[in-house]
Copies of this chain bind each other. A is one copy, B any other.
Amino acid sequence: MLYKTASLFVIGTELTRGVIADKHCQVVSSQLTQLGYRVERMVIVPDDGTIDSALSACLDTCDVVILTGGLGPTSDDLTRSIVATLAKVPLVRDQSAFEALYARIGERIWGANEQQAMLPSGFESIANPHGTAAGFKGFIPVGERSVACVAMPGPPREMDPMFFDEVLPWLAQLIGHNDFSRTEYSTFLLAEAKLEELCRQVAPEGIQWGTRFQDLKISLYLVGDSEERRQEMAQSLRSLVGPALIVDGDVMPAALLTDLLRSKAQTISCAESCTSGYVAKLLTDEGGSSSWFWGGAATYSNDAKMKMLGVKERTLRTYGAVSGECASEMAEGILEVSGTDYALSITGIAGPAGGSAEKPVGMVWVGFAAKGRKTQTVKLQFTSWGRVSVRRKASVAALILAGKYINGDALLDTVRKWQYI
């Protein structure tokens, strides 16, 4: 049988109530379109909804049905039951889903959670490394035909890797692509539209890409051709924007730094002016932060810079708070107070007010200090998209550059290519 048409069902009451916006329709439809599928409909329904009729109606015209959501332990187990009903099979315990869930939550598996390991008989479970609900895939017989059906969890951070790693290769096979695999990258400080444009510029025939914005980073997925050729495309991108802004795999910007510190069993502290605690917060988002993070000073006022960090009044008067000199004294100040191995500092104009011709909104100085090592400062100029964006980008840039400083790289070389930030 030829698989050519597809439908997507997105299940979530928070979507039909407009609490959150759907994140799956575009990702799924663009990838399927690239594979050659025709997407006939995408349907969003509440998780207490009557999806049955819509779903069974589309089995007559669609070759592939993709479902997301409705797999949680507290939901009405909508998805599993509906697929079982349509395929006319019972729900049975899937051993590998059960074991994965048990490894994750232990004895709490008994009760509501248990049903997360129950799958329609004959369907194959798909591991979910980021959550408790396994996905599953298989076929629903419809007369002479056999409709491919796959179900994935709703949260994007669980659905995305499952979709790209497991589901897309399967769908590629079904439509006749034999070799299908993809590589994931994390990109920082680049606007999504810019990343799109750069991909279009360097993508060789046979490689498709997809992007997903995630607050502090944009994920980039390269699909098709060989791993080697995908890496070549990533290298072409890196040659345009600098290697620091595109890293392999699924990595949050803070993890770039904290993984490095953990591996070296070293510590850091920070001194922040315009970001005022943002970096300190990011460095402690993960549990276990005390092994690498001592603490930080949110020195928003000049008085705080002087009192908490020992920044000299003369420095502030002569160069201003947004200057390499001030960034340098801030980093050295918190290093001295904390006794950590490294220290970073940020001082800049976040806006909307406070900019000038000489120091426009979006200008940020970052500084790095360590015992027995030369303090380094770097000036960055962000295209200003407002206060939120400048503070976010300044924090991400400081996290990236701190890792470079620790590794002994020359920071000016690193930022020289950052022409798109």
A positions within 8 Å CB-CB of B: 14-22, 25-33, 38-46, 49-50, 53-54, 57, 61, 192, 210-213, 269-270, 272, 274-281, 283-290, 293-301, 303-305, 307-308, 337-339, 350-354, 387-388, 391
Contact = CB atoms under 8 A, between A and B. Distances in A.
A294 B306 CA distance: 12
B27 A18 contact: yes
A405 to B, nearest CB: 20
A26 B33 contact: no
B25 A287 contact: no
Tell me how many chains of this kind the complex includes.
Answer: 2
A294 B303 contact: yes
Given A42-B16, A277-B278, A297 B289 contact: no
A144 to B, nearest CB: 21
A17 B43 contact: no
A39 B19 contact: no
A211 to B, nearest CB: 7
Contacts of A274: 284
A290 B300 CA distance: 7
Contacts of A211: 19
19 contacts: A16-B41, A17-B33, A18-B212, A25-B44, A38-B46, A40-B45, A275-B281, A276-B283, A276-B289, A276-B295, A277-B279, A280-B298, A285-B387, A288-B353, A290-B301, A294-B303, A295-B299, A295-B304, A303-B338
Most B CB atoms within 10 A — which of A32, A40, A353? A40
Contact of A39 (B16, B210, B351): B16
Contacts of A17: 29-30, 33, 39, 210
A280 B284 contact: no
A286 B388 CA distance: 9
B20 A287 contact: no
A352 B287 CA distance: 6
A414 to B, nearest CB: 25
Nearest to A267: B301
Contacts of A20: 26, 213
A25, A46, A289, A299 interface centre (most CB from chain B within 10 Å): A25
A249 B337 CA distance: 43
A46 B37 CA distance: 13
A41 B45 contact: yes
A9 to B, nearest CB: 10
B281 A296 contact: no
- Identify which of A32, A277, A301, A308 gathers the most chain B CB atoms within 10 Å of its CB: A277
Given A294-B301, A295-B301, A276 B287 contact: no
Interface centre among A44, A192, A279 (most CB of B within 10 A): A44
A350 B168 CA distance: 37
A62 to B, nearest CB: 11
B353 A337 contact: no
Given A293-B301, A295-B304, A295-B308, 10 more contacts: A15-B42, A16-B29, A16-B39, A17-B30, A40-B49, A41-B54, A276-B293, A281-B281, A287-B387, A295-B298
Contact of A295 (B15, B22, B300): B300
Contacts of A57: 53-54, 57
Contact of A308 (B50, B276, B337, B352): B337
Contacts of A388: 285
A65 to B, nearest CB: 14
A308 B301 contact: no
A305 B293 CA distance: 13
* Residue of A300, A337, A350, A352 ringed by the most chain B CB atoms within 10 A: A300
